Amino acid sequence: MAETTEPSVPSRAVAGWSDGESPVWLSIPEGYAELPLDDIPETIEATRQLVTELGTPDQRQAAAFVLSSLNVFLTTLAERNAIYVGLGRHQSALNGQLITSSLVVTVLDFPGERNPRLVLRDLLVAKARAHEHGQADILDLEDRPAAFFEHTLSLPNPALPGQHVLAEGAEVPVWQLEAFVPSPGGDRLVTFEVSTPFAEHGPQYRAMVVAMAARLSFQPPAADDPLAALLG
């Protein structure tokens, strides 16, 4: 698992992704461990065998449920054009408590070019029509607009094997912040989604999400640009 730190702006580590035509470069914050989006069944099975051989009795008891849920979760995200999924461990700046979160980055392509601000406007209008309630903002980040949508969801809290079974219909609050960044031509939309079940600590992730959105690049970083290397 990644080192435990406070939620912070992204490190300089850059992850590149490409569909063969239009690459995207991401700055991933410290504290996140990447989960696989390729060869998911094989990775889950290898993990299951490892837990069976080396895990504690409680870990072995929970493994089937947890790994089965993780398999469905990752497969669904891969089908929805996720290019990065990570689980984070950080220390809360409020009280030093260990808090966990998930980071999902997806890419959506549109036919033809369009004004990026219209892409963001239509996205937020669609959320309003779907009765999604939250704080919506469109900001200018350096050379591009970006939309942010912050809200708290109420999601079912599943009971793990060996743990106390919750009352039917029990739910827990989950804080979530989404950042939407369109390409300059408005034909591609990158979405960052950070969620944490430690809802009262969620606002600490705001600066981190804004920094990720600002550092997103649709062009290769200078160090990876052959022309930049030639020019020094």
Least confident of 35-44, 131-140, 202-211: 35-44
- The answer as to whether 56 is a domain residue is yes
Instruction: Count other C-beta atoms under 10 Å from residue 1's C-beta.
Output: 10
CA–CA distance, 188 with 190 (Å, rounded to integer)? 7
CATH number reported for the structural domain that contains residue 167 in this entry:
2.60.120.1690
> How many structural domains is the chain composed of?
1
What mean pLDDT is predicted for residues 118-144? 93
pTM: 0.80
User: Token pair for residue 37?
Assistant: 């989006």
pLDDT of 164 strictly over 80: no
Mean pLDDT of the chain: 81
Instruction: Count other C-beta atoms under 10 Å from residue 114's C-beta.
Output: 15
CA–CA distance, 151 with 135 (Å, rounded to integer)? 6
pLDDT attached to residue 207: 93
pLDDT attached to residue 157: 61
- The answer as to whether 8 is a domain residue is no
- The answer as to whether 4 is a domain residue is no
pLDDT digits (tens, 9 = 90+) for 50-91: 777 766 777 677 667 677 777 787 888 888 889 998 889 899
The domain of 105 spans: 14-231
User: Token pair for residue 136?
Assistant: 């919506």
Match 């998930």 to its residue by tokens.
Answer: 102
- More confident: 52 or 163: 52
- The answer as to whether 1 is a domain residue is no
**Local confidence band at 19 (pLDDT 50, 70, 90 cut-offs):** low
